[in-house]
């Protein structure tokens, strides 16, 4: 995509990201990294720079800012997007391989079954229901919060995760113990949706293609978020209303903010006296580990988790502290 002198580069970056259906969080991150890259090189235009300047910026992040490998790779991803998708300048893979940070392979933190029970016992309300799904279905936090009403199938006890990591759909299990709590929760969400409709609201965010093809779908019950926010907000990607269009124009009920669940999990871990670094993602790790402990096939666990490569799932065999071989310590034979 060519950039006109009259259009700011970062605006073109945003437009390109939206055209290619990147998430808003990715859009914010990529624009931020591109801005920092330009400022680091004294506001030189990226067309005047290349692999050498990219390497210098990433080295600055690693050495002076001490960022993690994943953060460094996110910055690299943003710059590659800028050059390849926006400026139509090819950056050869061989040229960037030396500056791509290698992510350390760390064994994830896992809770025991009793620790999970203690953690959940210290939670309540919607955050508890979200946490139960993270552990009971192996969902990532944002996958859970982005669920729509139509993604829950009570008859088959399944959950459909749409546009998960890697933009892939998958089906995972819905714990039978959560059928009743979820039905009760959905009845409360339905009442909120009806109030919104009565107030002339009730729209929810839809991907651009769907919004254009089914303009009425944004207000339909099936498309509403399973875990809606308590507050209405304006879509940051939509034009700001002006003049007579102000008021309720553009107001939508987005999904629950992830920080609500993150804080609730941290607080519950402290109340439960769990001396581990516990995050919502820890529950997903625990889901996988406990399934392998129960002797479920690793390929089945891989499919439920949505891992592209089974080697990613294999990390949980190391969590079991037996390397997949059930080795018995010689000390235990004495």
DSSP string, 281-331: HHHHHHHHHHHHHTT--HHHHHHHHT-SSHHHHTHHHHHTTSTTTT---GG
185 in active site: no
- CA angle at residue 75 from 70 to 78, to 5 degrees? 125
Measured N-to-C along each axis, helices 125-137 and 280-293 cross at an angle, to the nearest 10 degrees, of 40
316 in active site: yes
Among residues 41, 60, 100, 140, the one annotated as catalytic is 140
Cα radius of gyration rounded to whole Å, the chain: 23
Among residues 146, 252, 285, 307, the one annotated as catalytic is 307
Among residues 35, 118, 234, 281, the one annotated as catalytic is 281
- CA angle at residue 82 from 64 to 10, to 5 degrees? 90
DSSP string, 243-278: GGG-SSTTEE--BPPHHHHHHHHHHHHHHTT--S--
C-beta contacts of 298-303 below 8 A and 24+ residues apart:
303/170
Q: How far is the C-alpha of 254 from the C-alpha of 276, rounded, in Å? A: 32
Among residues 165, 170, 185, 266, the one annotated as catalytic is 165
307 in active site: yes
281 in active site: yes
183 in active site: no
Q: How far is the C-alpha of 241 from the C-alpha of 238, rounded, in Å? A: 9
Measured N-to-C along each axis, helices 258-271 and 113-121 cross at an angle, to the nearest 10 degrees, of 110
Q: How far is the C-alpha of 45 from the C-alpha of 48, rounded, in Å? A: 6
230 in active site: no
How many Cβ atoms are within 10 Å of 45's Cβ, its own excluded? 11
Among residues 193, 252, 255, 284, the one annotated as catalytic is 284
Residues known to be catalytic = 140, 165, 281, 284, 307, 316
């Amino acid at each position: 995509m060519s950039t006109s002198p009259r259009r700011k580069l970062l605006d073109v970056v945003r437009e390109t990201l939206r055209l290619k259906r990147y998430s808003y969080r990715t859009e914010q991150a990529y624009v931020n990294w591109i801005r920092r890259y330009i400022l680091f090189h004294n506001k030189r235009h990226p067309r005047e720079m290349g692999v050498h300047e990219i390497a210098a910026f990433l080295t600055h992040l690693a050495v002076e800012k001490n960022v993690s490998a994943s953060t460094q790779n996110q910055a690299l991803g943003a710059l590659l997007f800028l050059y390849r998708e926006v400026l139509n300048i090819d950056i050869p893979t061989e040229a960037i391989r030396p500056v791509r940070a290698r992510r350390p392979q760390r064994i994830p933190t896992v809770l025991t079954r009793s620790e999970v029970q203690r953690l959940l016992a210290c939670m309540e309300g919607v955050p508890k229901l979200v946490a139960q799904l993270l552990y009971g279905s192996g969902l990532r936090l944002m996958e859970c919060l982005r669920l729509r009403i139509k993604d829950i199938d009570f008859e088959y006890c399944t959950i459909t995760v749409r546009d998960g990591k890697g933009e892939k759909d998958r089906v995972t299990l819905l714990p039978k113990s959560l059928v009743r709590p979820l039905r009760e929760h959905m009845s409360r969400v339905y009442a909120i949706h009806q109030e919104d409709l009565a107030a002339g609201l009730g729209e929810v965010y839809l991907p651009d293609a769907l919004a254009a093809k089914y303009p009425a779908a944004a207000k339909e019950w099936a498309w509403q978020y399973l875990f809606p926010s308590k507050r209405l907000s304006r879509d940051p990607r939509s034009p700001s209303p002006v003049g007579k269009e102000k008021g309720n124009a553009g107001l939508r009920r987005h999904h629950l903010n992830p920080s609500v669940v993150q804080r609730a999990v941290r607080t519950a871990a402290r109340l439960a006296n769990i001396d581990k670094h516990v995050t919502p993602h820890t529950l997903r790790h625990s889901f996988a580990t406990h399934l392998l402990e129960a002797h479920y096939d690793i390929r089945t666990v891989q499919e439920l988790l949505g891992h592209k490569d089974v080697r990613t799932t294999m990390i949980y065999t190391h969590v079991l502290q037996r390397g997949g071989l059930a080795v018995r310590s010689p000390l235990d034979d004495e």
